[in-house]
Amino acid sequence: MATDTRRAIEAAFRIESPRLIAGLTRFVRDVGLAEDLAQDALVAALAQWPESGVPENPGAWLMTTAKRRAIDHLRHTKMAETKLEALGREMENAPAPDLDAALDDDIGDDLLRLVFIACHPILSMEARVALTLRLLGGLTTAEIARAFLTSEATVAQRIVRAKRTLAEAHVPFEVPRAEERAARLEAVLEVIYLIFNEGYAATAGEDWMRPALCEEALRLVRVLAGLAPEEPEVHGLGALLEIQASRASARTDAHGEPILLLDQNRARWDGILIARGLAALERAHALGDRPGPYELQAEIAACHARARVAADTDWQGIAALYDELALVSPSPVVDLNRAVAHGMAFGPERGLLLADRLEKHPALTAYHLLAATRAEFLSQMGRREEARAEWQRAASLTHNEREKKLLLERARALAD
């Protein structure tokens, strides 16, 4: 029972921590301090909930506890007397269940403000993205490191330095004016994209997906589209996320096991989300002359969405889009996806040739999807033993338990 309670606490904290940190940052005006206060609330929950039970509204409990810690901190350090009085009045006058309900009136603004703070130009692009993924995505340093194909130590240093830099610069807690927004927009878009990706295919843990992260990323990009309606890449990212999210219910079976794209029941794809995505894509087309990386990825997603069955997929069109994406936004992961598209369009020999060229890339030496891609093409070519070895290697490299099981099943199928 104690283990179940601890899991419930950790799950509640992971879901609530972005709202918690955003709300606290509004009060204490310090991202690092807000995160510390949120962690204090988690420690308190770990101490009290095993005995008292998980409260009906974990978010309200955590926010109440964190605010009390904030008041104690402000009192102890003699900071902002008027702020202390305001916080004290709020704590005294508002009943506990309504505390976070009142905060939720503008919680979207709080979260978006936090994104723009963490994406401030005084930070490097790498630091902006790492810090925001940590604060909003609730990702661990290990998960962020895997997303960037880099080391945990590097990510941890970026986050610590970023928080220190923001505190020393006294960055205001606000959404920047339109003329300042453009300097931060690229990082904001990348952060939302990576938060969605972690929700869509979790890098670690026992679940194939983390739907709350997908929903948060979708909500943020919709709010951002209202703030920056003339930015084509905002609509391009929105289109991509809407279409990708449309597949959510078809990506797992009744037991939570993964179902890959070509095996999914497309009747279960959400037509409303697809329509929203295609409309956003049209908006992006109308605003820009040359498509950016998110618009190109949305075009690829749209190719899948337009195919009623997997066999109808326009793989040659997708391969051409990946060729363009590799020029606009080169990366080893784009190159790997390009290899997959070319293999589907022009045969497994072509796909394997392109995948093999990536084997020596330092960022992909321990990347399980490269091994899985090679395994798929080897299997299609009838090279069963080589394919089985690659499925097993891919399984050894992934940190997601559901994915590991799927990859090992592919290896066993070839052995049988």
Helices (H) and strands (E) counted in the chain, each on its own, are: 20, 2
Query: Number of structural domains, the chain?
Result: 2
Separation CA 215–CA 332 (nearest Å):
27
Instruction: Find all residues with CB under 8 Å of 331, minimum gap 6, and list them.
Output: none
pLDDT at 281 over 90: yes
The confidence score (pLDDT) of residue 327 equals 97
Torsion-angle region of 201 (φ positive above 0: left; ψ -120 to 50: alpha; else: beta): beta
Residue 224 inside a domain? The answer is yes
What does the pLDDT average to over 180-188? Answer: 81
Within 10 Å of residue 52's Cβ, how many Cβ atoms?
Answer: 11
Residue 365 inside a domain? The answer is no
Domain stops at, among 86, 105, 124: 105
Query: Buried (b) or exposed (e) across 335-364, using 16+ Cβ within 10 A?
Result: bbbbbbbbbbbeebebbbebbeebeeeeeb
Residue 317 inside a domain? The answer is no
Domain stops at, among 303, 328, 358: 303
Separation CA 146–CA 401 (nearest Å):
15
Least confident of 38-42, 164-168, 199-203: 199-203
Residue 206 inside a domain? The answer is yes
**Average per-residue pLDDT for the chain:** 86
* Residue 99: closest CA among 81, 111, 113, 87: 87
Contacts 24+ apart (CB under 8 A), 347-354: 348/376, 348/377, 348/378, 348/380, 348/381, 349/377, 349/381, 351/377, 352/377, 352/378, 352/381
Residue 208 inside a domain? The answer is yes
Strand partners, 252: 258
φ, ψ for residue 400, nearest 5 deg: -100, 125
List, for residues 223-253, the tens digit of each pLDDT value. Answer: 889 878 999 999 999 999 999 999 999 999 9
Residue 336 inside a domain? The answer is no
Within 10 Å of residue 247's Cβ, how many Cβ atoms?
Answer: 21
List, for residues 47-81, the tens digit of each pLDDT value. Answer: 888 888 888 888 889 988 988 888 888 777 655 55
List, for residues 109-147, the tens digit of each pLDDT value. Answer: 677 788 888 888 889 888 888 888 888 767 788 878 877
Residue 297 inside a domain? The answer is yes
**Residue with the larger pLDDT of the pair 93 and 303:** 303
The confidence score (pLDDT) of residue 102 equals 34
**Residue with the larger pLDDT of the pair 332 and 206:** 332
pLDDT at 148 over 80: no
pLDDT at 82 over 70: no
List, for residues 307-351, the tens digit of each pLDDT value. Answer: 999 999 999 999 999 999 999 999 999 999 999 999 999 999 999
Separation CA 308–CA 305 (nearest Å):
7
101 and 200 both lie in a single domain: no
Domain stops at, among 303, 334, 355: 303
Residue 204 inside a domain? The answer is yes
What does the pLDDT average to over 5-14? Answer: 76
- Tell me which range, 78-87, 98-107, 295-304, is most confidently predicted by mean pLDDT: 295-304
What's the domain range around 229?
A: 195-303
pLDDT at 305 over 80: yes
Half-sphere exposure of 213 (CA within 13 A, CB side): 27
200 and 299 both lie in a single domain: yes
The confidence score (pLDDT) of residue 279 equals 97
What are the angstrom distances between the C-alpha of 58 and each of 101, 262, 294? 12, 39, 36
